[in-house]
């Protein structure tokens, strides 16, 4: 698809924003109270930009099903290559700080929430979510490499954004907020990420993978 003026404008907003907010849920892809926080962030941080995964199968409230048709967000015409999948870049059209949605084929398929991803035997639902966070990280890295100058400030929220921040750490200034109320029960996830990332963060084990590379599960 050709990048039209809307797409070019979104790329300019990404390049010129004071900071980038990585969020795993939004007012269009809601779940917890963090959704309300993200909604207010868009309205108060006008010079920022939100980047989030797009969940095409998510059950939405009546009236939200056709948000693309109503023009609340649309395709930018920008496509990215993410490992073995294509990624379309969507964006909101309202007057608030834009949400840039990354739609990676075959991923982010939660139905009730962005987190209840379907099991793909022998991988369970949690395993699918962990894989999705890796793809989100790769998609974010590809987007910012395409549209954002080195040395930007990138602010992630919750453990699902950790792979993205890990990939961006050598090119950008990064920050992570953990919402303890929602993250206190992720012992299994923390252990899984710890096996990969903690040895690197503490100067042990093999060196970090080059930018743009994340170990993904074998099929």
pLDDT given for residue 67 in this prediction = 54
Within 118-161, residue ranges assigned H as helices are 125-147
pLDDT given for residue 187 in this prediction = 63
pLDDT given for residue 178 in this prediction = 79
Structure letter (DSSP) for residue 214? -
pLDDT given for residue 166 in this prediction = 94
pLDDT given for residue 50 in this prediction = 97
Least confident window among 93-107, 115-129, 142-156, 171-185: 171-185
Separation between Cα atoms, residue 48 and residue 29, nearest integer Å: 19
The superfamily CATH assigns to domain 5-201 is Glycogen Phosphorylase B; (3.40.50.2000)
Distance of CA 95 to the CA centre of its chain: 21
Angle at 30 between CA 121 and CA 60, to 5 degrees: 80
pLDDT given for residue 16 in this prediction = 93
158: which 2 tokens?
Answer: 């919750």
Task: Please give the sequence-ordered ranges of beta strands (E in DSSP) within the chain, or none if there are none.
Answer: 19-22, 48-53, 73-82, 85-92, 99-104, 153-157, 173-177
The answer on pLDDT for 197 being more than 70 is no
Q: For the chain, what are the domain ranges? A: 5-201
pLDDT digits (tens, 9 = 90+) for 205-219: 444 433 333 444 433
pLDDT digits (tens, 9 = 90+) for 75-129: 999 999 998 899 999 999 999 999 999 999 999 999 999 999 999 999 998 889 9
Count of alpha carbons within 13 Å of 181, Cβ hemisphere only? Answer: 3
Contact call for residues 33 and 157 (beta carbons, < 8 A)? no
Separation between Cα atoms, residue 105 and residue 109, nearest integer Å: 9
The answer on pLDDT for 191 being more than 70 is no
pLDDT digits (tens, 9 = 90+) for 12-61: 999 999 999 999 999 999 988 888 999 999 999 999 999 999 999 998 76
Separation between Cα atoms, residue 59 and residue 54, nearest integer Å: 12
């Amino acid at each position: 698809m050709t990048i039209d003026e809307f797409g070019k404008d979104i790329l300019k907003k990404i390049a010129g924003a004071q900071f980038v907010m990585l969020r795993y849920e939004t007012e269009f892809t809601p779940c917890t109270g963090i959704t309300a926080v993200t909604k207010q962030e868009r309205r108060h941080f006008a010079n920022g930009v939100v980047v989030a995964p797009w969940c095409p199968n998510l059950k939405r409230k009546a009236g939200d099903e056709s948000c693309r048709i109503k023009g609340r967000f649309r395709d930018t015409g920008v496509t990215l290559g993410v490992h073995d999948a294509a990624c379309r870049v969507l964006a909101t059209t309202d007057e608030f700080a834009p949400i840039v949605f990354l739609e990676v084929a075959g991923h982010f398929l939660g139905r009730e929430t962005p987190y209840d991803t379907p099991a793909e035997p022998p991988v369970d639902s949690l395993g699918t979510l962990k894989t999705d966070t890796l793809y989100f990280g790769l998609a974010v890295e590809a987007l910012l490499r395409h549209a954002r100058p080195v040395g930007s400030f990138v602010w992630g929220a919750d453990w699902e954004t950790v792979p993205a921040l890990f990939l961006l750490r050598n090119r950008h200034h990064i920050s992570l907020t953990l919402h303890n109320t929602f993250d206190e029960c992720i012992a299994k996830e923390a252990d899984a990420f710890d096996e990969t990332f903690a040895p690197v963060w503490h100067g042990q084990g093999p060196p970090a993978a080059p930018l743009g590379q994340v170990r993904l599960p074998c099929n």
